[in-house]
Amino acid sequence: MDISVVIPLFNESESLPELCGWITQVMQANRFSYEVILVDDGSTDDSWKFIEEKSTQDNCFKGIRFQRNYGKSAALNEGFRMSNGEVVITMDADLQDSPDEIPGLYKMIIQDGFDMVSGWKKKRHDPIGKTIPSKFFNWITKKVTKIKLHDFNCGLKAYRKNVVKSIEVYGEMHRYIPVIAKWSGFRKIGEKVVEHRARKYGVSKFGIERFINGFLDLMSIMFVGRFGKKPMHFFGTLGVIVFFIGFCIWVYLGIAKFFFQVYDMTKRPIFYLGLVSIFVGTQLFLTGFIAELITRNAPERNHYLVEKRTGF
C-alpha cells in the first residue's frame, strides 16, 4: 500500500464529507493505493455516524473511536499503530489542510529520501492572537532542538513507515513529533510550504493554554530524550556540584572558627547556605540513584532501534 492518511478528529461532522471526497479524488487522480484512518477522539456530534457509513460504502476508509476525549497525541499514536502504508500522512479534519498537498509530500519521502516532511503554513488564515504566539513558540523550539523547521505544530506531515512504527506519541507530544523522530535517529527531516485554508466549519478546539503546555512539554521531551536512560548523569552531577559548594562553605567556616576564633557561626547566613547546599546536593544524588535503579529494571531499558542486520 502506498499511503495511509491518519486524521484525528473531534466534532468535525460538518467537514468530514467534503474532506473524504477530496481525499478520494486526489488519490484516484494519482493512482495511489491508500487507506484513510479516521480517529474519532470521543466526538459528541455525528462524526462517528458518518465514519461508520463511509467505511461501509468504501473499504479504503477505516474508523477508530475512543470511549472519551484523550487528545490529539493519543489519536495519532493509535492511527500510526494501525497504519499499513509505506508513507503515512497526517492532516487535520477541519479542511484547513489541503489534500492536494499529498502527492508532493509523498514524492519528498519516496523520491527525495526524507524520513519525515513537515508542512509549513507560510501564509496563515488565523487571527493575530494565534499567529504571533505560534511564531514565538516555533522560534524557541527551533533554537532549543536545532531542528530547522518553521512550523512544528502543523498537522500536515508525512512520514516513512518505519518512523511511525518506531516512535510513541503521548500526552500532548504531537507538537514535537519531529523532535521525537530526531531522538530516535531519523535525522532526514524536511519541510514543505503548504496551503493553509481558512476554517470553513466549526471552531478551533485549542486555546491559549496550548502554548503554556507546549513549553512545558518541550522541557520534558528534551530532558527525557537526553537523560531518559541515564538519569544519574543529570541528577548525580548536579547533586555533586551543589554538595561540593556546601562542603566548601563548611570548610571555610571551620577554618574561620578554629584558626581565626570566629564564633557565632549560626548567626551568619552563609552557614545556612552551606547547610542547605549539602542537604539539597545529597537529595539530588539520591534522586539520580533511585531513578537509575528504576531505569535499569524497566522492561524497555534495552529498547534500541536497529536499522539493518546482516549475516545472521
| pLDDT tens figures, 250-273 | 888 888 777 766 666 667 788 889
- Domain finish residue from 210, 227, 244: 227
Q: Could you tell me if 58 and 132 lie in one domain?
A: yes
Q: Could you tell me if 276 and 144 lie in one domain?
A: no
Mean pLDDT of the residues in the chain? 85
Q: Could you tell me if 267 and 141 lie in one domain?
A: no
Q: Could you tell me if 221 and 240 lie in one domain?
A: no
Range of the domain at 240: 231-296
Phi–psi pair at 120, nearest 5 degrees:
-125, 110
Distant-in-sequence, close-in-space partners of 230: CB < 8 Å, separation ≥ 6: 292, 295
| Residue 142 covered by a domain | yes
CA distance 8 to 64: 9
| Residue 102 covered by a domain | yes
pLDDT in tens, 20-63: 999 999 999 999 999 999 999 999 999 999 999 999 999 999 99
| CATH, residue 27 | 3.90.550.10
Residue 180, Cβ density class (10 Å: 0-12 exposed, 13-18 middle, ≥19 buried): buried
pLDDT higher than threshold 50 for residue 146: yes
- Domain finish residue from 227, 248, 266: 227
Q: Could you tell me if 85 and 193 lie in one domain?
A: yes
pLDDT of residue 197: 82
More confident residue, 227 or 123: 123
Q: Could you tell me if 270 and 291 lie in one domain?
A: yes
Q: Could you tell me if 240 and 207 lie in one domain?
A: no
More confident residue, 197 or 240: 240
pLDDT of residue 202: 63
CA distance 91 to 9: 10
Q: Could you tell me if 289 and 194 lie in one domain?
A: no
Q: Could you tell me if 114 and 261 lie in one domain?
A: no
| Residue 159 covered by a domain | yes
CA distance 251 to 305: 49
| Residue 78 covered by a domain | yes
Q: Could you tell me if 191 and 134 lie in one domain?
A: yes
| Residue 308 covered by a domain | no
Q: Quote the number of domains for the chain.
A: 2
CA distance 62 to 49: 12
| Residue 302 covered by a domain | no
Cell numbers found for residue 19:
474532506
Element (H, E) at 256: helix 231-260
- Domain finish residue from 208, 227, 246: 227
pLDDT of residue 122: 84
pLDDT of residue 311: 43
| Residue 213 covered by a domain | yes
Q: Could you tell me if 9 and 94 lie in one domain?
A: yes
| Residue 311 covered by a domain | no
Q: Kindly state the percentage of the chain with pLDDT values over 90.
A: 51
Q: Could you tell me if 47 and 161 lie in one domain?
A: yes
Q: Kindly state the percentage of the chain with pLDDT values over 70.
A: 84
pLDDT higher than threshold 50 for residue 310: no
